[in-house]
Amino acid sequence: MATYAVGDIQGCYKPLQRLLKNIPFRFDCDKLWIAGDMVHRGDDSLGTLRFLYDHRHQVTAVLGNHDLHLLALAHGAKRLSKKEQDLTRVLQAKDADKLLNWLQSLPLLVHRKGYTMVHAGIPPIWGITKAGELAREVHRALADASMAKAYFYGMYGNEPHCWNDHLFGIERLRSITNYLTRMRFCKADGTLDLVTKRGPLAAHGEYKPWFSFANRKTRDDKILFGHWAALEGRANTKNIYALDTGCVWGGCLTAMRLGDEQFFFTDCRA
């Protein structure tokens, strides 16, 4: 039995199937980890969700910002844009409730097999234990119908820019969500820049890639993450595994086998 961690699929169903065939993935015993952003911007988010749901007993996944956006649409907290027809097909599908309930049940962080998987990253001011505790706060909110609706209506926004243990309510949940699902650049104290989306060379002032701080509390932990396609799968940092290689932008879809850290790729332009 092998476990493979896969980066952002974003509705690219056919590349996912090619990748699993190339590995080759054994559906009778292998396990699949997904680092968030299973949907949005690709051409078959519905097919992707149905596939992952059908194999849910083999799948371990965390929520990404695009997955949360789909759920916010489903809760009426955001309006569909004309460019989101792929998500419209999910929302109008006959099995939408089943798929979306499964999606909403997923965590923001998984710590297992010596690895921690999260969509965007963990700020330098949090250790694995604290990140896990905070992720569970959001998970509990998503599991409560009334809290979930309030969460999605208050989820969008870049503030507060820096974590404070005394944050409470929706501000606290939004801050946790932004760190775990949207972060790229931050300061050593955790102050976020949620605007800059380019690669590491776009670092400016005290803002650096979240994983580049020598004294970050997770420096001895193995972290799997997606979200940052501009890295092109290269974090160049020990114990940091960048899995988003821009499939939806015509790049590759990437998987890493946890047992020996071997990488597998499929060209998404095929």
255 DSSP β-pair partners: 6, 264
Architecture category of domain 3-267 in CATH: 4-Layer Sandwich (3.60)
- pLDDT tens-digit map of 210-259: 999 999 999 999 999 999 999 999 999 999 999 999 999 999 999 999 99
pLDDT score recorded for residue 81: 86
Name the band, by pLDDT with cuts 50, 70 and 90, for residue 85: confident
Q: Is the Cβ–Cβ distance between 215 and 126 less than 8 Å?
A: no
Tell me if the pTM is above 0.95.
yes
8 Å CB contact between 202 and 195 = no
Mean pLDDT throughout 256-267?
A: 96
Task: Output the pLDDT for position 150.
Answer: 96
pLDDT at 208 over 70: yes
Q: What is the mean pLDDT of residues 161-170?
A: 97
What tens digit of pLDDT does each residue of 45-56 get? 999 999 999 999
In the predicted structure, residue 270 carries a pLDDT above the cut 80: no
Angle at the Cα of 86 from the Cα atoms of 80 and 88, rounded to 5 degrees: 45
Q: What is the pLDDT of residues 103-145, one digit of tens each?
A: 999 999 999 999 999 999 999 999 999 999 999 999 999 999 9
What are the residue boundaries of the structural domains of the chain, listed by start?
3-267
Mean pLDDT along residues 147-157: 97
